[in-house]
Chains A and B, each alone.
Chain A
Amino acid sequence: DTGVSQNPRHKITKRGQNVTFRCDPISEHNRLYWYRQTLGQGPEFLTYFQNEAQLEKSRLLSDRFSAERPKGSFSTLEIQRTEQGDSAMYLCASSFRAGGTPNEKLFFGSGTQLSVL
């Protein structure tokens, strides 16, 4: 297991096109998170899953964004009708949560860099 894997590493698309990113978490991790990072900013939370259930979605996330984790393993993030403002690094992270205290360690992937022309 080489850690959290994200594909593709880079994606260039034209405005209005749909894009889909994939994240493969560390196999025994039950939580999976999606973050977005723009230049000069810290990662910004988008959504997260516990197993296959999507438990929270940022209110900043427009309806054009959708994420799935169908079998509680890998996850996909789709952006429909991309806009130039969607250009960013999309980061996936996974963790194992046991119990209720949110202090577990997140393991991040290398990210997918999206450029919308």
Chain B
Amino acid sequence: AQRVTQPEKLLSVFKGAPVELKCNYSYSGSPELFWYVQYSRQRLQLLLRHISRESIKGFTADLNKGETSFHLKKPFAQEEDSAMYYCALTSKAAGNKLTFGGGTRVLVKP
């Protein structure tokens, strides 16, 4: 079975400070990892996926298969980064469905 754990329910940081959202997963095969974000009064939307190795809105995430982690990082948080962030996992063997973590609320204070 696949599982995603986000240990922090809330992260509160000051504007300009670094922010790191932790995500750990359990899956023995070859997972595909994603970060989804939900801003206030908006829909859940894709932020980034590990296969693309992209940086979106200053965020990056590195898949560490040894530690089974996919932490999301941004060196200088902005107020507009305040949102709910969900780490998610899928794989071909798991039938393609996304398994989400419980989410981390990020609050960036001025």
Contacts and interface: CB of A to CB of B under 8 A. Distances in A.
A111 B44 CA distance: 10
A42 B46 contact: no
A41 B88 CA distance: 13
Given A55-B95, A106-B46, 15 more contacts: A35-B98, A40-B103, A42-B4, A42-B86, A42-B101, A42-B102, A43-B86, A43-B98, A43-B100, A100-B92, A102-B91, A103-B51, A105-B46, A110-B43, A111-B43
Sorting the interface of chain B by its residue count into under 10, 10 to 19, 20 to 34 or 35 or more gives 20 to 34
Interface in A46-61: 48, 55-56, 58
B99 A3 contact: no
Nearest to A44: B100
Interface of B: 4, 6, 9, 32, 36, 43-46, 49, 51, 86, 88, 90-92, 95-103
A74 interface: no
| Main SS class of interface, A | loop
Contacts of B98: 33, 35, 43, 45, 106
Interface in A64-117: 91, 93, 97, 100-103, 105-111
Given A101-B32, A102-B32, A103-B32, A43 B44 contact: yes
Given A42-B100, A108-B44, A103 B92 contact: no
B102 A40 contact: yes
Which of A55, A93, A100, A108 neighbours the largest number of chain B CB atoms within 10 Å of its CB? A108
Contact of B96 (A40, A48, A93, A111): A48
- Closest 3 pairs (CB-CB, A-B): A42-B100, A108-B44, A45-B97
15 contacts: A3-B43, A40-B9, A42-B100, A42-B102, A42-B103, A43-B44, A45-B97, A56-B96, A100-B92, A101-B92, A102-B91, A103-B32, A103-B49, A105-B49, A111-B43
